[in-house]
Structure 1
């Protein structure tokens, strides 16, 4: 099924969603989502695997125009459209395997692809780029290949989990870089954990393919160690020295927040979303001695603290594990209870537990004003778990993409 829908571009910050509590502030870095004098004005984007549109959220805030977007899941499209009604771009709700290069828009500057990670993730079966999900990378490459030299965008941005680097002993990443080389792109690889911007540990790797002449400040030697190019990234360059790869020197990452205070939604003690005594006691009873001691320390503190928790299966039994720090674990697509994060609020001799809300997920992805009114909470959580963090993409755009594209037009 193909749905083409007019969607409205937003050059200004959107108003808060009706569900947002006025007494609970957005996380502070959301203020960075204001347009910064539209430095990317005129740059046109094709957004593959668009999901709920957080890639678009980041790029539009920097003045880019989403000329085309695609995804296969109707629930994600509904959230995408709810947050950018009547935009002039076209969202094609259909299987990427039916997309043809000849039908792509003209004058594209950037193509983005946050292709499925399930076959690359350490939690999956590790089928890699040969899997039915992560193998959609090849469909992205096919569409680029079908485009004429004049239409193929200057930059291609790939995003995925760190498992992309190690899948099949590094062979999958090598094949992907080889394919990008064949399409005329030199590749730059780096890694960013979203915890430098939001209180969520979300490590991701990025490949920026630059077609044609490299930017003047590019380097084709192995990169020096840095926060975005640790030793495992350096090994990628060493193992693929025969391929077309490059780096650009980028700024250091910010420190990022270290607690959930600006994320947690204000909620009264009698809100029904808090788990009742029976359910809470089951949660507390499942904790191993390590995590029970962690909870006891938090509970006995004189001030309230927030922690997130995941349900795990250990030795055939379900158990909950509480994070030792004040940030969230990596948000995941909700395929079951173990994929959802619970919130534990403890201190002054008490402890309460509930599921994290869609608004809290939105804030952890850098979009506190995002409309989260999906048909079910799980649909919203699924969409956020499968998305990019807005602040991370904005940083890449400011540090990398806009400079390269601006230089290309001089």
Structure 2
């Protein structure tokens, strides 16, 4: 008989960071059974061991060791930040929707799309979508008009999200959830979603997801500074169709994150030149990213003008030991929110390659993210995107519960099949 610490199951369980109690709840087995598996007194269920291995691989930064763990759809896909994160936990993207042509060009250059990219989500035929387990969407924030809902309710007329969110893009997401009943979803938005339209927008969204659609929902605002050198607060809303025990409160974040020096071009010859961003022979940043005297003077005068009025408006000047402000879609205009100090000359903008690193699309040891569009378009795309490592952390936290939700569905399907067989003999 193997000793307690020598079994594969015990080793993997400890490496995932789960306690015996947590594993028993996630896998739907008694603690006594888990202890027997750990001591080698009985063999673990093969499928459950595979789930635990997948979780271990994801949390160790390894690629999943099987084809895919679940299917998901990518709505308001942008340049695929959510897709990149969910593929990292073994998800297979089976449907994509993105209306912007420039984003679609970047998306197709970076992902192996075995399906066409759909355009406007409002034109999607809900009846002819592939089967999927998880819905992910970074939907735009829009105000809702709920005038008349109370009156309709008092008159006994139909109401709810079909009235409250009609005409908004969230309505289309809610329709998909209502029609297909995915096992889980992840919705991402700006932090201000909570206070948007005096809190009405968020109130309607949560009521729709919980009360109208019947999902178990939790949310959390996360600052990307824990993962990348950038202050970027975004809200993540996670819902599960079944109560699998998911909660954000036990999701741990790194205590400290990287600094800007980790994403800036080295400029000392240790990094291969990449035209048009850096130039041979030493890989120095191209001059076009340095602010002109006129623009630099304008930004300084603008900042001084507002400083005199007691306002905080102005440029942000940073060095390699700093954490930057939020990269926005307007960065292409003047780069003022994140300017990099340069010795003996005006500051410069980040290059698009540095933006790819700042947003976590580029990782050491991985193939660089393909940037097939102009600087202007790439700044817009990265500024509108998600910080990939943040979503990877959220997705990793979701994975055990996705497995649990899929297992619950499989068990329910087996019970239904058994019931139908019994019925056939009655």
Structure 2: segments with no counterpart, 5+ residues? 1-57, 145-162, 268-282, 408-426
The aligned counterpart of 2:138 is: 114
Give the paired residue count: 312
Q: How does 1:167-246 map to 2 (within 5 A)?
A: 167-181=196-210, 182-212=212-242, 214-215=243-244, 217-218=245-246
User: For residues 130-182 of structure 1, what are the alpha-carbon distances to aligned partners after superposition, in whole Å with 9 as ceiling and x for unaligned?
Assistant: 999993111111222233xxxx2111111111111112222211211121122
Structure 1: segments with no counterpart, 5+ residues? 1-30, 121-129, 219-246, 293-312
The aligned counterpart of 2:315 is: 320
In the TM superposition, residue 328 of structure 1 has moved relative to its aligned partner by 1.6
CA distance in 1, matches of 2:395, 2:314: 41
The aligned counterpart of 1:139 is: 172
In the TM superposition, residue 80 of structure 1 has moved relative to its aligned partner by 0.5
CA contact (8 A) 1:287 1:319 kept: yes
In the TM superposition, residue 291 of structure 1 has moved relative to its aligned partner by 11
The aligned counterpart of 1:366 is: 360
Q: Which has the higher helix share?
A: 2
In the TM superposition, residue 79 of structure 1 has moved relative to its aligned partner by 0.4
In the TM superposition, residue 40 of structure 1 has moved relative to its aligned partner by 9.1
The aligned counterpart of 1:7 is: none
User: Is structure 2 residue 384 aligned with structure 1 residue 355?
Assistant: no
CA distance in 1, matches of 2:339, 2:316: 11
CA distance in 1, matches of 2:295, 2:317: 14
Cα distance change, pair 100–144 in 1 and its aligned pair in 2 (3 A): farther
CA distance in 2, matches of 1:61, 1:35: 8
Cα distance change, pair 201–75 in 1 and its aligned pair in 2 (3 A): same
Cα distance change, pair 291–176 in 1 and its aligned pair in 2 (3 A): closer
Q: How does 1:229-378 map to 2 (within 5 A)?
A: 247-267=247-267, 271-275=286-290, 278-279=293-294, 282=297, 285-286=300-301, 288=303, 320-322=315-317, 326-334=322-330, 337=333, 341-346=337-342, 350-368=344-362, 369-378=367-376
In the TM superposition, residue 279 of structure 1 has moved relative to its aligned partner by 4.0
Q: How does 1:51-62 map to 2 (within 5 A)?
A: 51-62=78-89
CA contact (8 A) 1:323 1:329 kept: no
CA distance in 1, matches of 2:302, 2:215: 50
CA contact (8 A) 2:66 2:90 kept: yes
User: Is structure 2 residue 127 aligned with structure 1 residue 102?
Assistant: yes
**Larger Cα Rg: Structure 1 or Structure 2?**
2
CA distance in 1, matches of 2:348, 2:378: 17
CA RMSD for the aligned pairs?
Answer: 3.7
The aligned counterpart of 2:6 is: none
Q: Return the structure number with greater relative CO, CA threshold 8 A, min gap 6.
A: 1
Please give the secondary structure, in 2, of the residue aligned with 1:261: helix
The match for 1:386 among 384, 387, 405 is 384
Please give the secondary structure, in 2, of the residue aligned with 1:405: helix
In the TM superposition, residue 33 of structure 1 has moved relative to its aligned partner by 9.7
User: Is structure 2 residue 192 aligned with structure 1 residue 163?
Assistant: yes
The match for 2:402 among 385, 402, 405 is 405
CA distance in 2, matches of 1:373, 1:248: 34
In the TM superposition, residue 280 of structure 1 has moved relative to its aligned partner by 6.8
Cα distance change, pair 33–365 in 1 and its aligned pair in 2 (3 A): farther
CA distance in 2, matches of 1:135, 1:33: 40
Cα distance change, pair 327–261 in 1 and its aligned pair in 2 (3 A): same
Please give the secondary structure, in 1, of the residue aligned with 2:104: helix
Q: Which has the higher strand share?
A: 1
The aligned counterpart of 2:105 is: 78
CA distance in 2, matches of 1:334, 1:131: 31
Cα distance change, pair 263–336 in 1 and its aligned pair in 2 (3 A): closer
In the TM superposition, residue 252 of structure 1 has moved relative to its aligned partner by 2.2
User: For residues 95-127 of structure 1, what are the alpha-carbon distances to aligned partners after superposition, in whole Å with 9 as ceiling and x for unaligned?
Assistant: 111113212211x1110110124769xxxxxxx
CA contact (8 A) 1:197 1:254 kept: yes
User: For residues 283-309 of structure 1, what are the alpha-carbon distances to aligned partners after superposition, in whole Å with 9 as ceiling and x for unaligned?
Assistant: 6743756999xxxxxxxxxxxxxxxxx
CA distance in 2, matches of 1:118, 1:133: 11
The aligned counterpart of 1:91 is: 117
Normalised to the residue count of structure 1, the TM-score between the two structures is 0.66
CA distance in 1, matches of 2:258, 2:306: 20
CA contact (8 A) 2:299 2:336 kept: no
Cα distance change, pair 193–38 in 1 and its aligned pair in 2 (3 A): farther
Please give the secondary structure, in 2, of the residue aligned with 1:320: coil
In the TM superposition, residue 392 of structure 1 has moved relative to its aligned partner by 0.8
The aligned counterpart of 2:394 is: 396
In the TM superposition, residue 84 of structure 1 has moved relative to its aligned partner by 1.5
